[in-house]
Amino acid sequence: MARTDIEIAGVEKRYGDHVALAGVTLSIPAGQFVALVGASGSGKTTLLKTLNRLITPDAGGIRIGGGDIAVGAPHLLRRRIGYVFQEVGLFPHLTVGENIAVTPRLLGWAPERVAALTRDLLALVALPAAMASRAPAELSGGQRQRVGVARALAAEPGILLMDEPFGALDPLTRDALGTDVRALHERLGLTTVMVTHDMAEAVLLADRIVVLRDGAVVADGAPEDLVRTVADAGVRDLLDAPRRQALRLAARLGGGQ
Ligand SMILES: Nc1ncnc2c1ncn2[C@@H]1O[C@H](COP(=O)(O)OP(=O)(O)O)[C@@H](O)[C@H]1O
Ligand SMILES: [Mg+2]
């Protein structure tokens, strides 16, 4: 699959008088893992959804792999972009395997090819092959989210978008899944944009953190640089939260080592 860059230029979105996106410009090189953070209502989901045309901007434009995404059919665009929702949204009446293979089936792939792909994708997200015949309701939250990731990758997209994908999971599951998704990102050469409200997760997984406030980018850079370079005290506080928490934890637990 082709490595895919994303160019967001002056994207604006209003709902009535409310400005959801106030002119966002971002250049995301192919292969980068970006964490999109910011308070609730800052425009994270809106921005993510403009990338696969679930939302149409009022102004500005987006290019993916050099091409204007406003040109052509939305379903062709979405095939190149995997999307993982916070609430996984698996079809309850379909098996895990059928859920993963929804897109390949729509594309008319032969049954043997679909079966092979389903096996590969389950292995990719570290689920046992036997899980293909289970119902989503029989899986844990973490397993369901793994199925959501497998489904998002079924059409071999170059881009993976995730909207608070691990928000509902317990900390250990969250940690394991985050690490696995980062490994998949590397292995598949994806360009990944992940919305998260967990700054520690952003720092640990992403190459770059973009902070939104009131629909505008207020900080943007590598995790290790941002804390030092950001002028805005509020944003600096937010970015520094994981370090402060780690220090408090170490003090409380006696430091070790
Ligand atoms: N369909 C909509 N109609 C009206 N307002 C909306 C709609 N979608 C989002 N908004 C508003 O736009 C702002 C940004 O929303 P959103 O992108 O969902 O924020 P985030 O994902 O950062 O929490 C919020 O103030 C939200 O209430
Ligand atoms: Mg949101």
80-129 tens-digit pLDDT: 999 998 776 899 999 999 999 998 888 888 999 999 999 999 998 889 99
Ligand nearest to the CA of 55: 1
Tell me the C-alpha distance between 221 and 46, whole Å.
Answer: 21
Angle, vertex CA 195, rays to CA 224 and CA 185, nearest 5: 75
> In which residue are the tokens 């406030």 written?
213
Contact (CB, 8 A) for 118 and 101: yes
Ramachandran category for residue 65: left, alpha or beta (phi over 0 → left; psi -120 to 50 → alpha): left
Pocket flag, ligand 1, residue 167 (CB < 6 Å): no
- Residue with the nearest Cα to atom 16 of ligand 1? 43
Q: What is the pTM of this model?
A: 0.91
Pick the CATH number of 1-80+176-257 from 3.40.50.720, 2.40.10.220, 2.40.110.10, 3.40.50.300: 3.40.50.300
Q: What is the pLDDT of residue 257?
A: 53
Three-class DSSP category at 153: coil
Q: What is the pLDDT of residue 232?
A: 82
CA distances from 201 to 190, 194, 204, 209 (A): 18, 10, 5, 11
Pocket flag, ligand 1, residue 196 (CB < 6 Å): no
In which residue ranges of the chain is pLDDT below 50? none
Pocket flag, ligand 1, residue 93 (CB < 6 Å): no
How many CA atoms within 13 Å lie on the side-chain side of 67? 11
The encoded tokens of residue 5 equal 């860059």
Ligand 1 centroid to Cα of residue 46, in Å, is 6
So where are the chain's domains? 1-80+176-257, 88-156
- Residue with the nearest Cα to atom 17 of ligand 1? 43
Q: What is the pLDDT of residue 66?
A: 93
Q: What is the pLDDT of residues 30-45, one digit of tens each?
A: 999 999 999 899 999 9
Q: What is the pLDDT of residue 2?
A: 63
Give the list of residues 6+ apart from residue 99 with CB closer than 8 angstroms, or none.
90, 91, 136, 147, 151
How many CA atoms within 13 Å lie on the side-chain side of 257? 3
